Amino acid sequence: MREFHNQFSSDLLEMLPLPFVITASSCTRDNLRKYLPKTAISLEIELAAPTNVLRFDLDFRIDGTLRRIILHVPHPPLGSSQAERTEDQWLPKLTLA
């Protein structure tokens, strides 16, 4: 049943022209990445806690055009509290994965 769900989700993304997709769990991110083409590029932007890092997958078509941007936003565990942040903690550090 899980394989059916995963394949159906992948097929749905193939059919729908969604230029932006946001995921909020590592399971969803890992599953989506299984179905991305080899032309996809992953990158990460490091932030301060509790987010720590934003992960993007850029889904390129074979002809090199950008088809979709997928943002993987980690959600904090239940019961966690966010500390106040200073302005410089929000400045991102860009790294390619």
Binned at pLDDT 50, 70 and 90, residue 3 comes out as: confident
According to the model, what pLDDT value does residue 96 have? 59
pLDDT at res. 77: 59
Instruction: Supply the pLDDT for residue 73.
Output: 81
Q: What is the pLDDT of residues 8-52, one digit of tens each?
A: 888 888 888 899 999 887 788 888 888 888 999 999 988 877 667
For residue 77, the one-letter residue type is P
Condensed to tens digits (0 to 9), the pLDDT of residues 64-87 reads 999 999 998 876 655 555 444 444
Domain ranges of the chain: 24-76+93-97
Q: Structure pTM?
A: 0.68
Strands 53-60 and 41-46: antiparallel
